Structure 1
């Protein structure tokens, strides 16, 4: 069992106890956001830090769908 800490730059996203450490280039889904593993570094025998690059969410697409007028 490994203590796996997922980071995006310097921000801690998630800490999990896993049986298998993710490999570089593997696709992940953390907190509903898609991402890929950029690097894996082992700290101790059981502690692993994983750097993740998350996909950017375009918020403009979400705002365009609000075309209905509200009733007064």
Structure 2
């Protein structure tokens, strides 16, 4: 078992005990967001730091359509 710490830049996102360490270029899902592993650093035999790049969130703004509103 490995203690895997997932980082985005210098921010710790998640720490998990895993049987298998993710490899570079692997696609992951962390906290419901898609991420891609950019680098893997082995600190000692049990601790591993994994740098990830999260996909940017695109917030959908509602389109205001005045024709659908009821007029009183």
- Same topology, TM > 0.5: yes
What's the TM-score, normalizing by structure 1?
Answer: 0.85
Give the TM-score taking structure 2 as reference length. 0.85
Q: What stretches of structure 2 of length at least 5 have no aligned partner?
A: none
Distance, in Å, in 2 between the alignment partners of 1:56 and 1:38 is: 15
Aligned partner of residue 61 in structure 2, secondary structure: helix
Higher helix share: 1
Corresponding pairs, count: 70
Q: Counterpart in 1 of 2:61?
A: 63
> Which of structure 1's runs of 4+ aligned residues deviate more than 3 A?
65-69
Q: Structure 1 regions of 5+ residues with no counterpart? A: none
Alignment root-mean-square deviation, CA: 2.2
Query: How far is 1:58 from its partner?
Result: 1.4
Aligned CA distance change for structure 1 residues 17 and 65 (closer, same or farther; 3 Å)? farther
Q: Could you say if the C-alpha distance between residues 64 and 39 of structure 1 is closer, same or farther in structure 2, counting changes exceeding 3 Å? A: same
